[in-house]
Amino acid sequence: MVKTISYQHTNSYEILNPIIETTENIWVCFHGLGYLAQFFKKYFTGLDPLKNAVLVLQAPSKYYLGSNFKHVGSSWLTRVDTDQEMKNNLNYIDAVLHEEGLNHDKRLVLMGYSQGVSIATRYLLHYNLPIKALVMHSGSIPNEFNELDAVKFKELSNRNIHISGTRDEYVTTDVIARENQKIEMLFGTECEIHRPDIKHEVDTALLIDISNTF
């Protein structure tokens, strides 16, 4: 017999650049598998702090990396209890936005890297309010999205940006075909495609260039 129970959970998040009077863009960033927010935030240090506030959220499930139990990483989801864990993630993100007074703020830029793409995209549909941009970097768009979701994406995000490195070791021909289909279905021609010559890594220079176009 399997039972579930609800209880209060506490989680952290990182603020790299706080919101100030000159802030034009508020980045809410979701790291990839194996990262911690405190280290992932380094990829955004090149953004102009006068224009770009940066919040880096922390995946809830932490674990030891490798066999020496020295370094710690974290994960947003696994294939076990996925729906339940995603609901927990949504509640956490809601709480962060409420704490920072960001509900209804149209300056939001949701940025997901690798596993974080699935969190950023799902959260946008849950949030269901207009944002400035959705940045999807080196990760898979969830398979459950459909044509009805496509209508919502077009209404919710002012800009949709997809980044995937041409030398990404996790990207195969089948993966490319599958992701292109999802992009076409969800965004049509309303998606900016970037294919930098990089492996599975964060393209910090490209993020700076993109931030300067907001």
CA 172 from chain centre, in angstroms, equals 22
State the pTM of this model.
0.96
Domain boundaries, the chain: 13-211
- State how far the Cα of 88 lies from the Cα of 94, in Å rounded to an integer: 10
Report the CATH number of the 13-211 domain: 3.40.50.1820
pLDDT in tens, 115-152: 999 999 999 999 999 999 999 999 999 999 999 999 99
Question: Residue for token digits 């960033």?
Answer: 29
- State how far the Cα of 123 lies from the Cα of 145, in Å rounded to an integer: 12
pLDDT in tens, 16-63: 999 999 999 999 999 999 999 999 999 999 999 999 999 999 999 999
Contacts with 189 (C-beta within 8 Å, 6 or more apart), sequence order:
none
Query: Beta strands 61-65 and 52-57: pairing type?
Result: unpaired
What would the mean pLDDT of 62-86 be, rounded to a whole number? 93
- State how far the Cα of 130 lies from the Cα of 191, in Å rounded to an integer: 16
Confidence tier at 176 by pLDDT (50, 70, 90): very high
Partner residues linked to 193 by β-bridges = 162
